[in-house]
Amino acid sequence: MHATQPSDPLEDLLAGPSTSTTPSGDLALLGSVCAGCGARAFPARMTCHVCAGGRPAEAPVGSSGVLYSWTRVHVSATRDTPYALGYVDMDGAGDGGVRVLGLLDPVGAEWAVGDVVRVVATEGADDWSFTKDAR
Amino acid sequence: MSTGSAVSTGSAALPAPVHVVGAAMIPMGRHRRSSYAGLAVGPVLDALAAAGLGRERVRAAFVGHSFGGMLTGQRVLKEIGLGGLPVVNVDNACSGGASAVHLAARAVAAGEYDVVLVVGVEKLTQFGGGTLPLVTEDPEVRRGMVMPALYAMRARRYLHERGTIDDLAAVSVKARRHGARNPYAQLRSEVTAEQVLASRPIADPLTLFMCCPTGDGAAAVVLVSDRARAELDGPAVRILASVLHSGEMDLGARDMLHPEITFASARDAYEAAGMGPDELDVVELHDAFSIAELIYYEALGLCPVGEAGKLLRSGETTFGGRVVVNPSGGLLAKGHPVGASGTAQVAEAFWQLTGTAGDRQVEGARTALTHVTGGGIAGLDHGACTVHVLRAG
């Protein structure tokens, strides 16, 4: 009988960059796609939440999307208020695309469900946010 | 669409009868001069006294809490000289107190113990107010997620797809009207829809009065087997179903008005109880924010999907209606000390089904359902959901 081998801890706190620049010059969110089953995720993952067996590889998951819902937060235990948050269904991925929670910039804009938004770089701890896509 | 592999937990039916024979709690509120033990000792002693049981009869204790720190249950029970027995501390966020009931019920039904004590206790004033501190390992929490924001986005979708802001206000008005009758409630004043809408914004479109208050609380219930029940003289309530589900990971386009974890838990609970939602007299559901009550009307099967606003406006979910939802005032008025709430709901069900609910008594109540979720975790609608169905003994 062989002796058992220790399992490996996942060093999942070593966050890589969360954005990348596409060939067309847009900023895209950098998530992951499972090499085994194709499941997409953002942020990038080290295990697959769908098939549990495949190894996700880093991949862009979209540079724009549609605002599914949003809120302007006035009370928060974690950051200065007000700030605006939204769930964005990222496009360019078809079915199986990801929904991403992000800050909406600027906080005071007239946000609406269905708005088309895109990823933009921001200063500070949050290195990206969503803004209205005027194009 | 669920992308995970949901597993059936088998039948949610309990393999042997389990009875609630005693319940007690403190009024929820700001109890800054009390420790976790100080909050919970009174309900523990009173629940045992209500059951007619001495502390020496307790064979095990399950204690729900989320922010009490290590060994909270032991810190409570040592104060009354209860030791030696197995004490299990249970964290499942807002479902902790109900998860403790679930574990206790399963243990009694399995024949492991004949008398089990359940405690739910939480002291939120230790944080000085504001939103619940969530786990910062979570990617959405790092991005600014707080519980009111999550429910606010559900509310935004409700306004977009189905109803009006008046529905959200009406839930709060009903909750506060019920809570005004309840001596255990944190908020005991009625409010008007105008006051709800004019209260300060928390996370748009939710205002202060559409959110549960921050507070402290403790509740205790005593569960026993058939054999122990036969020795007791007092009233008892039978637990027909005890269901606990975890959430299913989905990183895609989830319908925020269709909480799959509550739909699934309710389905299993009704199957185990052998009854449907149309047979319920009382429901205590997880109205942490006013939007939640509307969503859960549908998820618990109290009305068809899309008709929650209509059900609320019909008056069928208040006193005199077909099924009284949150006669206690719910989390919105009674208060929501996270780990205490699930136990407190079962205590309320016990009182309602034994005719001891005072001014908030639902006349002739014979059946009740309790429901709590536990959220604040990326990729899941909620992390936990607990549903109990109870019937007068």
Closest-CA distance of chain A to residue B211, Å? 12
Q: Is A128 on the interface with B (CB under 8 A)?
A: no
User: Which residues of B make CB contacts under 8 Å with A?
Assistant: 3-4, 127, 130-134, 136, 139-141, 143-146, 148-149, 152-154, 156-157, 160, 200-206, 249, 251-254, 256, 378-379
pLDDT of B109? 97
Q: Is A126 on the interface with B (CB under 8 A)?
A: yes
Does this model's pTM top 0.90? My answer is yes
- Cα four-point dihedral sign B380, B369, B114, B355: positive
Mutant choice from A12, A50, A73 vs B, greatest count of B C-beta within 10 A: A73
Instruction: Answer yes or no: do A71 and B149 touch at CB < 8 A.
Output: yes
pLDDT of A124? 77
Nearest residue on chain B to A40, judged by CA atoms?
Answer: B251
Instruction: Answer yes or no: do A78 and B201 touch at CB < 8 A.
Output: no
Closest-CA distance of chain B to residue A57, Å? 16
Of the CA atoms within 13 Å of residue A37, those in its CB half-sphere come to 14
pLDDT of B6? 54
pLDDT of A94? 61
Q: What ipTM score was computed for the predicted complex, to two decimals?
A: 0.95
Residues on chain A touching B4 (C-beta within 8 angstroms)? 49-50
Nearest residue on chain B to A103, judged by CA atoms?
Answer: B143
pLDDT of A123? 85
> How many Cβ pairs within 8 Å bridge chains A and B?
105
Closest-CA distance of chain B to residue A41, Å? 6
pLDDT of A98? 95
Instruction: Answer yes or no: do B253 and A96 touch at CB < 8 A.
Output: no
Give me the active site residues of B, please: 94
pLDDT of B8? 54
Instruction: Answer yes or no: do B4 and A103 touch at CB < 8 A.
Output: no
Higher-confidence residue of A123 and B218: namely B218
pLDDT tens for each residue of B270-314: 999 999 999 999 999 999 999 999 999 999 999 999 999 999 999
Residue A93 scores a pLDDT above 60: no
pLDDT tens for each residue of B162-191: 999 999 999 999 999 999 999 999 999 999
Instruction: Name, in order, each residue with C-beta under 8 angstroms of B60's C-beta and a sequence gap of 6 or more.
Output: B85, B86, B87, B88, B104, B107, B112, B113, B116, B117
State the average pLDDT over residues A39-45: 94
State the average pLDDT over residues B84-108: 98
